[in-house]
Amino acid sequence: MKLKNKVAVITGAGAGMGRAIALLYAKEGAKVVATDINEESVQSLTDEIIEAGGEATPVVTNVAKEEDVQKMIDIAVETYGTLDILVNNAGIMDNFVPAVELTDELWERILAVNTTGTMRAIRKALPIFLEKKSGVIINNASVGGLYGSRAGTAYTASKHAVIGLTKNIGFQYAMEGIRCNAIAPGGVNTNIGTTMNNPSKFGMERAMSGSQNNPRSGEPEEIATVALFLGSEDSSFVNGQVITADGGWTAY
Ligand SMILES: NC(=O)c1ccc[n+]([C@@H]2O[C@H](COP(=O)([O-])OP(=O)(O)OC[C@H]3O[C@@H](n4cnc5c(N)ncnc54)[C@H](O)[C@@H]3O)[C@@H](O)[C@H]2O)c1
């Protein structure tokens, strides 16, 4: 087992990649604090983990709310005594809205979940990691955080910011036994499409213009294995990096 007795907080664990990461981490021996805005989904996930003989605690968390972020880390420490791994995975799409159509409301909502939530969780976890001189942070970014047009303006900016956060934290705390890396998935078969309604025609056309080069969509489990690598000692010398998992899409 690669994560025996490690305490891992995973955001957005109720579906998609977060769920796959939670299941794999639990299988590898981690004590999983499964957090999501959707109560039913984290409850059924933790039931599944416990039934399979693993350890998990559900926490309803909206990562856009500072008090919720504080609570999820506090509950991890109260329940399992510490925190070892933080996986910032929760994220939402932006209807492919291009700059000219962008409202302040949409910009702020996307940044609040994708970027500010990630920053706040890291800020709350760091004192715990600094005290014990160890800790791992994994941010689920996107190829949209590396390239210009895989989504709308707000999502693209939010994920570029996540990658900036990743490198800043990875380097600044490298001497303190803390590692911070990001995953940049390409297209993955999840529920994220349900966070979109009435996408921008112009924005979607521009964003999708490169999709014919995408060899295939991935499965959440194919991202979970990358998160396991980054969460375990197998990646002890990997820090401040972005691992792209996109089936070769961006290699073109
Ligand atoms: N699916 C893709 O093609 C793709 C590609 C690249 C990156 N990503 C990123 O991967 C991450 C996971 O996405 P997914 O595709 O598995 O999506 P998903 O929609 O299947 O799952 C996301 C989970 O996050 C939860 N969530 C949404 N808003 C939340 C909030 N405010 N607080 C807490 N939880 C919240 C949802 O309830 C859901 O359970 C996201 O950050 C996304 O941007 C997705």
Q: How far is the CA of 132 from the centre of ligand 1 (A)?
A: 30
Q: Is 215 part of a structural domain of the chain?
A: yes
Q: Check if 115 has its Cβ closer than 6 Å to any atom of ligand 1.
A: no
- On whether residue 1 sits in a domain, the answer given is no
Query: Could you read off the pLDDT of 206-251 as tens digits, one per residue?
Result: 999 989 999 999 999 999 999 999 999 999 999 999 999 999 999 9
Ligand 1 centre from 221 Cα, in Å?
A: 14
Give, for ligand 1, the residue of 40, 44, 89, 192 to mutate: max count of ligand atoms closer than 8 Å to Cβ: 192
| pTM of the predicted structure, to 2 decimals | 0.99
Domain carrying residue 189: 7-251
> Does pLDDT of 183 surpass 90?
yes
- 18-50 b/e (C-beta count within 10 Å ≥ 16 → b): bbbbbbbbbbbebbbbbbbbeeebbeebbebbe
In a domain, 68, yes or no: yes
- State pLDDT tens for residues 135-159: 999 999 999 999 999 999 999 999 9
Instruction: Map tokens 């609040």 to a residue.
Output: 112
Q: Is 173 a catalytic residue?
A: no
Q: Quote the number of domains for the chain.
A: 1
Q: What is the CATH number of the domain that holds 216?
A: 3.40.50.720
Q: Is residue 24 pLDDT above 90, yes or no?
A: yes
Q: Is the pLDDT of residue 195 over 90?
A: no
